[in-house]
Structure 1
Amino acid sequence: MVESVGPSTIKANDLRVASVARVSAPAPAAPLAANNATTATAAPQTLAKSLAAEPPVDGDRVQQIKTAIANGTFPLSPATIADQFIALRFDWMANEQA
């Protein structure tokens, strides 16, 4: 069930409201050593080569989805689609300038 959006009061004895726990500050990151400079520049190049070696999309999975849509067997959930549209709208509103 979806609760209405709008101003509401939270009662002290409402069990659905949890208290906020304190979180400790994150530990500072260790600085890079000067002798790791060549390793730091080589790592992105190695990563780029490994990512370029294989396609970013699984072609077999795409074909399975296309076939399921063509056959009418792809499971569509109207609630999931609506939730995604709502989330997209909220994300869009967050990026708008007032």
Structure 2
Amino acid sequence: MSRIEAAPAVATPAQPGTAPTTTVAKQLSAEPPVDVERVRRIKAAVESGQFPISPAKIADQLIALRYEWMHNEQA
């Protein structure tokens, strides 16, 4: 499976106080925020019963993310 790629560099203005020619919003809106083809393949695999779903693994990850979130809030 492919990983999410880093966002491309944002163009900076030539002079202070001028607007950049390419904004982050324009770059982000140029492509969908997710890999639509990958989502389609996963959805088809889930519907056909070929995608392994482990409720225990999902629960473990949700709990781990919550603990990480709580830890970051205290900082």
Q: 1:75 aligns with which of 40, 46, 52?
A: 52
| Unpaired segments ≥5 residues, structure 2 | 1-13
Q: Does 1:60 align with 2:37?
A: yes
Q: What's the secondary structure of 1:37's corresponding residue?
A: coil
| Unpaired segments ≥5 residues, structure 1 | 1-34
Across the two proteins, how many residue pairs are aligned to each other?
A: 60
Q: 2:67 aligns with which of 83, 90, 96?
A: 90
RMSD: 2.9
- 1:17-28 to structure 2, matched below 5 A, reads none
Q: Which has the higher contact order (CA 8 A, sep 6+)?
A: 2
AA aligned to 1:42 is: P
Q: What's the secondary structure of 1:42's corresponding residue?
A: coil
Alignment TM-score, normalising by the size of structure 2 = 0.54
Q: 1:48 aligns with which of 4, 9, 25?
A: 25
Task: Give the Å deviation of 1:65.
Answer: 1.0
Identity rate, percent: 53
Superposition misfits of 4+ residues, deviation over 6 angstroms? none
Please say which structure displays the higher CA radius of gyration.
1
Alignment TM-score, normalising by the size of structure 1 = 0.44
Q: What's the secondary structure of 1:70's corresponding residue?
A: helix
Distance, in Å, in 2 between the alignment partners of 1:76 and 1:69 is 8
- The 3 A distance-change label for structure 1 pair 83 and 44 is farther
